[in-house]
Amino acid sequence: MTDWADQLTPILGAKTADALAKSLNLHTVGELLRHYPRRYAERGELTEIAGLEIGEHATVLAEVQRVTKRSMRSRRGSILEVRITDGRRALNCTFFNQAWRERELLPGKKGLFAGKITAYRGQLQLANPEYQLIEPATQDAGDGDSVVAEFTAALIPVYPAAQGLPSWSIARCVRQVLDTWDGVEDPLPAGLRADLRVSDLTQALRDVHLPADRAAVHFARKRLKWDEALSVQLALAQRRQAADARPAPACPPRPDGVLDSFDARIPFELTEGQRSIGEIVRADVSREHPMNRLVQGEVGSGKTVVALRAMLQVVDAGRQTAMLAPTEVLAAQHARSLAELLGDLATAGEFGAPDHATRVTLLTGSMGAAQRRKAMLEVVSGEAGIVVGTHALIQDRVEFADLGLVVVDEQHRFGVEQRDALRSRAGSRVSPHVLVMTATPIPRTVAMTVYGDLEVSALRELPKGRSPIKSTVVPVAEKPAWLDRVWQRLREEVAAGHQAYVVCPRIGDQASSGEDVDTPPPAEGEGSERRPPLAVADVAPELAEGPLRGLRVGMLHGRLPADEKDTVMRAFAAGEIDVLVATTVVEVGVNVPNATAMVIMDADRFGVSQLHQLRGRVGRGSAAGLCLLVTDAVPGTTTMQRLDAVASTTDGFELARLDLELRREGDILGAAQSGRRSGLRLLSLLDDEDVIAQARDRAEAIVVGDPALTEHPGLAGMVADLVDEDRAEYLQKT
């Protein structure tokens, strides 16, 4: 008689339950049953060793090939080396001072071996793995030997495991729980289940852990994926509906206002996309309910103008607007370029300003006290029509006189919950309009989930006269001499009157490594022997005194004081710096058309879409852009394939897909991009487009008829669980 919410301790005993709690954060029956196998090893079929990644905690089904015992020369003790194989490639397992294992690890024996994959002298290795031998099926599996009995099924579940808690221990716990489990009440109404042709939840959960065959796995996973897709889409449909129902400040366009004056003086012709999205946004902002729109457009597609025109319409209606950037450098840059675009239309309060002029006010955390007070005053008084800052602007409870529109720029790191906070921010019952802009093209499934609370518009074309960017991988491990050629190329660019960026993953020059990166690169394959990533603080002086001697080399990163960052950016924009050595603070929005080349050091330490964003900083003018991806990654590895892909295409959609595949889905409702999954265990944003799209339609239909899900208590429960789980994760992270 075991229930979903029961604690594991009485069932499994304190020792095992504690291990599950500590290593995998599993406390209840429900949590354990939701810990699904990652895959299934097929009895008699060995795991492919070539597919293993360094750093991965893996469980492999392999055969013992050879065992050698050595004694350690330096100390008393022995090393037992056990070579295991999948029939093609081998993996070395080493055991220290466990010579007795020689007696059971006999050549020809098969077993599961679990541990962290490392590399040692070019060989894949498992140090001190845990293992469990599997007796051949013909041998009598009974004999009261439970260890053997565990592996009598045709499919052996392989669980995400932890040190000291190998897959087979988890399997044993699950089996023990299932033995006394009565099942759960199914949250999906029977009618819906029949419609979707999915099995009931109790059956699905039993089958996912103890499948009779592959078909059982398939149907179980199908059902469980539906639950995930449906709860996410229900949560999002509810949010959309709630957001839509809130009142918002209607800002109908005003003839002869600042927007009209601006339109009359834009120095270029709007692209077709800028014009049509402009129309949509104009209508959105005029409504009495909040706009919640995402504009996605490639780097350089001109999103800023779209946002600015929306902001001016709101200013014309007598309200304020805020533009949020991910970093202070970017915020400062935005404030500057908005003021430049506006010219004297941004000089309200100054002598000779046009009638309906407004003010662009920068407000950031690191401003001096006096400056900040002045900025605050402009915001509170309503004098500032356009306030530019980082997300702190919203979190810090800055009081706006009358906030009508919030523009979030380049925000692929901003989850649904943060957007919720933002909508409820205007102080009163009224929600501001929200316009989110991103340059990372978003696969459809991601748009439906991560951005599912927003309507999406895409800016497809680039303004005329843009130059192509040519990207090349520089494999220094293989061809060290190419690095000299890199610096020579930079000198040529500078000699031709252009400027260049050199981007490094780390800031450097600081004992603490915790805050040493402006944007942490994805942690993957953290091999033990990797050197630390290259740092701006080291590379800049080395270049200035070495290969780039005589050039004006500047340095920019997130730890510089705000005014210094600003000075450096200004100097670079003014052409007073030839080569800017920087962290990813230049990733988004920085716009210096004369910069034509970018060298990315340790390019393998960056994510795919990050690289794509970064190189978008060059080729913004009429001269062709050049991006050199310097890496010591080994040819043929996935890491190198990733870089080759970035070099081979500038199709952002293709890259976004690739990135998603490599990064796996982050959490959906909370702060995104953690790379950990929550809510979504089986559902893949990459492969399950059908399910997601269908779930979205279903959810929409259900929520329209029953907004609070009062008539669907099962579904309401699913949504509550999802939101709780996501929020718990989110809170843990902050």
φ and ψ of 705, to 5 deg? -80, -25
CA distance 297 to 281: 15
**Smaller CB distance to ligand ADP: residue 53 or 461?**
461
Decide: is 591 part of the binding site for ligand ADP (CB under 6 A): yes
Q: Are 285 and 405 in contact (CB under 8 A)?
A: yes
In the complex, the smallest distance separating the C-beta of residue 295 from Mg ion, rounded to whole angstroms, is 10
300 interacts with, out of Mg ion, ligand ADP, none, CB within 5 to 8 A per kind: ligand ADP
650 interacts with, out of ligand ADP, Mg ion, none, CB within 5 to 8 A per kind: none
> How many separate helices (H) and strands (E) can be counted in the chain?
24, 21
CA distance 688 to 271: 34
In the complex, the smallest distance separating the C-beta of residue 408 from ligand ADP, rounded to whole angstroms, is 13
Residues paired with 731 in a beta bridge: none
CA distance 472 to 689: 33
Decide: is 274 part of the binding site for ligand ADP (CB under 6 A): yes
Q: Which x/- pattern over 210-239 shows residues binding ligand ADP (rule: CB under 6 A)?
A: ------------------------------
φ and ψ of 615, to 5 deg? -70, -15
Q: Are 11 and 2 in contact (CB under 8 A)?
A: yes
**Total residue length of the chain:** 734
Give the list of residues 6+ apart from residue 673 with CB closer than 8 angstroms, or none: 412, 413, 663, 666
Q: Are 582 and 505 in contact (CB under 8 A)?
A: no
**Smaller CB distance to Mg ion: residue 579 or 588?**
588
Distance of CA 70 to the CA centre of its chain: 46
In the complex, the smallest distance separating the C-beta of residue 274 from ligand ADP, rounded to whole angstroms, is 6
Give the list of residues 6+ apart from residue 503 with CB closer than 8 angstroms, or none: 581, 582, 583, 584, 586, 598, 599, 600, 601, 614
In the complex, the smallest distance separating the C-beta of residue 387 from Mg ion, rounded to whole angstroms, is 17
In the complex, the smallest distance separating the C-beta of residue 307 from Mg ion, rounded to whole angstroms, is 9
The residue from 55, 278, 354, 463 that contacts ligand ADP (CB under 6 A) is 463
Q: How many residues bind Mg ion (CB under 5 A)?
A: 1
Q: Which x/- pattern over 141-180 shows residues binding ligand ADP (rule: CB under 6 A)?
A: ----------------------------------------
Helices 167-179 and 201-209 cross at an angle (nearest 10°) of 140
Decide: is 270 part of the binding site for ligand ADP (CB under 6 A): yes
Give the list of residues 6+ apart from residue 585 with CB closer than 8 angstroms, or none: 327, 329, 330, 518, 556, 557, 558, 565
Decide: is 303 part of the binding site for ligand ADP (CB under 6 A): yes
CA distance 118 to 655: 29
Residue in 625, 556, 607, 613 with CA at minimum distance from that of residue 587: 613
The residue from 115, 129, 166, 300 that contacts ligand ADP (CB under 6 A) is 300
Q: What is the footprint of Mg ion within residues 162-181 (CB under 5 A)?
A: none
Q: Are 119 and 72 in contact (CB under 8 A)?
A: no
The residue from 297, 389, 558, 666 that contacts ligand ADP (CB under 6 A) is 297
Decide: is 443 part of the binding site for Mg ion (CB under 5 A): no
In the complex, the smallest distance separating the C-beta of residue 405 from ligand ADP, rounded to whole angstroms, is 17
Q: Using the structure block, give the residue that is written with the tokens 């040190």.
A: 163
Decide: is 458 part of the binding site for ligand ADP (CB under 6 A): no
619 interacts with, out of ligand ADP, Mg ion, none, CB within 5 to 8 A per kind: none
270 interacts with, out of Mg ion, ligand ADP, none, CB within 5 to 8 A per kind: ligand ADP
| Two structure tokens written together for 584 | 């990813």
**Smaller CB distance to ligand ADP: residue 99 or 270?**
270
In the complex, the smallest distance separating the C-beta of residue 409 from Mg ion, rounded to whole angstroms, is 6
123-127 and 110-120 beta bridge pairing: antiparallel
| Two structure tokens written together for 106 | 């006999």
**Smaller CB distance to Mg ion: residue 109 or 565?**
565
**Smaller CB distance to Mg ion: residue 299 or 682?**
299
Q: How many residues bind ligand ADP (CB under 6 A)?
A: 16
Q: Are 711 and 724 in contact (CB under 8 A)?
A: no
In the complex, the smallest distance separating the C-beta of residue 549 from ligand ADP, rounded to whole angstroms, is 32
Q: Amino acid identity of 655?
A: L
Decide: is 271 part of the binding site for ligand ADP (CB under 6 A): yes
CA distance 228 to 691: 10
438 interacts with, out of Mg ion, ligand ADP, none, CB within 5 to 8 A per kind: none
φ and ψ of 243, to 5 deg? -65, -40
**Smaller CB distance to Mg ion: residue 249 or 589?**
589
90-96 and 78-85 beta bridge pairing: antiparallel
In the complex, the smallest distance separating the C-beta of residue 658 from ligand ADP, rounded to whole angstroms, is 21
Q: What is the footprint of Mg ion within residues 589-648 (CB under 5 A)?
A: 589
305 interacts with, out of Mg ion, ligand ADP, none, CB within 5 to 8 A per kind: ligand ADP
Q: Which x/- pattern over 554-593 shows residues binding Mg ion (rule: CB under 5 A)?
A: -----------------------------------x----
Decide: is 617 part of the binding site for ligand ADP (CB under 6 A): no
Q: What are the residues binding Mg ion (CB under 5 A)?
A: 589
Q: What are the residues binding ligand ADP (CB under 6 A)?
A: 268-271, 274, 297, 299-305, 439, 463, 591
